[in-house]
Amino acid sequence: MLEEAQKNHYAVGAFNYCNAESAQAIAEVGCELRSPVMLITGPWEVPILGAKMLADIAKWVAAEASVPVCLHLDHATEIELVRECIEAGFPSVMIDASRHNFEENIRLTKMVVDMAHPRGITVEGELGAVGRVDDSTVEGEGESSLTEPDRAAEFVERTGVDALASAIGNAHGIYTQRPILDFERLTAIRNATGIPLVLHGGSGTPADQLHQAIDIGISKVNVASELGRAFLNAIERFDESRDHKAWWGHAIIDAKSAIKQVVARWTKELGSVGKVE
């Protein structure tokens, strides 16, 4: 999926889901806009439903969809979680060992690659640390460090990862000020590695910077915070508009619609509309 995006200069949207309704919303937009999509989930959702239930939801949604839908484990920092998700049937996983030093990052990432590749499972790694905009963001490290192109080349060669999350001035969460992405650094990383690159912290990225990053080589963009905000705001508005007397299950209809609006907007920005016949 990412190799095709890289070759044709668009990016695949990777959207967080935590239940069947949010997964449905993401896949429905993919079908409506004829775009591949990725369902991503991580250390914060797995304890709620369990890896097997999350995988089963994704498999059901993918089976019903008329476009490619890929399930991906996002930002796993522990080998045990990666192993659990592989056993549950995840076809793609990320090991984020970026908080460790370079050699330990390589060792842990290579361990996951050796575990995953014999099963046909793809692996994303991270070099450099993508930080957080605010304390409410649960994804990523507290402090950021930029990815060095020369080290990225060595990292990819020694680990065998299929995709690389790079730190080029991006951050997780809703930006409180306009980010400045380092496109010269991104170009050097792209030339040094040759594999699909991933932009974490997509929420709030200005369109002009997003398009330039995709032109250079970003093939996957993660979106989580905007989805979460849309979901919660929709439920809050639903409750207030009905004076707190509405049947709570019906709020999911509005929340699902809000998620679809965010996914549709991002899918159009990433240039993946119409890529599936």
Q: What is the mean pLDDT of residues 57-73?
A: 97
Q: In this predicted structure, which of 10-24, 175-189, 257-271 has the lowest mean pLDDT? A: 175-189
Within a domain: 85 = yes
Within a domain: 274 = no
Tell me what pLDDT residue 38 has. Answer: 98
Q: In this predicted structure, which of 144-148, 210-214, 217-221, 259-263 has the lowest mean pLDDT? A: 144-148
Cα distance from N-terminal residue to C-terminal residue, the chain:
14
Task: Give pTM, 2 decimals.
Answer: 0.88
Task: Indicate whether 177 pLDDT > 80.
Answer: no
Total number of domains in the chain: 1
Task: Indicate whether 268 pLDDT > 80.
Answer: yes
Within a domain: 72 = yes
Within a domain: 275 = no
Question: Confidence band (pLDDT; 50, 70, 90) for 168?
Answer: confident
d(CA 143, CA 195): 25
Q: Within 13 Å, how many C-alpha atoms sit on residue 273's CB side?
A: 12
Tell me what pLDDT residue 128 has. Answer: 78
Query: The CATH number of the domain where 12 resides is what?
Result: 3.20.20.70
Tell me what pLDDT residue 32 has. Answer: 98
Ranges assigned E (strand) in the chain:
12-16, 37-41, 69-76, 92-95, 122-127, 131-132, 163-166, 171-172, 197-199, 218-223
Q: Which residues are the active-site residues?
A: 74
Task: Indicate whether 198 pLDDT > 90.
Answer: yes
Tell me what pLDDT residue 245 has. Answer: 65
DSSP designation for 151? H
Its domain, for residue 173, covers: 2-269
Q: In this predicted structure, which of 194-198, 202-206, 217-221 has the lowest mean pLDDT? A: 202-206
Tell me what pLDDT residue 181 has. Answer: 82
Tell me what pLDDT residue 225 has. Answer: 84
User: What type of residue sits at position 21?
Assistant: E
Question: Confidence band (pLDDT; 50, 70, 90) for 138?
Answer: very low
pLDDT, tens digit, 9 for 90 and up, residues 230-250:
999 998 888 776 666 667 788
Task: Indicate whether 59 pLDDT > 60.
Answer: yes
Q: Hey, what are 9's tokens?
A: 């200069």
d(CA 5, CA 218): 9
Whether residue 220 contacts residue 199, with contact meaning beta carbons closer than 8 Å, is answered with yes
- Whole-number Cα distances in Å, 135 to 34, 132, 140, 225: 36, 7, 11, 12
Q: What is the mean pLDDT of residues 147-167?
A: 95
Q: What mean pLDDT value characterizes the chain?
A: 89
Task: Indicate whether 37 pLDDT > 50.
Answer: yes
Q: What is the mean pLDDT of residues 31-38?
A: 98
* Kind plus residue range of the DSSP H or E element containing 65: none
Question: Confidence band (pLDDT; 50, 70, 90) for 129?
Answer: low
Task: Indicate whether 258 pLDDT > 80.
Answer: yes
Tell me what pLDDT residue 206 has. Answer: 83
Question: Confidence band (pLDDT; 50, 70, 90) for 140?
Answer: very low
More confident residue, 158 or 98: 158
Task: Indicate whether 176 pLDDT > 80.
Answer: no
Buried b (16+ CB within 10 A) or exposed e, 204-242: bbeeebbbebbebbbbbbbbbbbbbebbeebbeebeeee
Tell me what pLDDT residue 133 has. Answer: 37
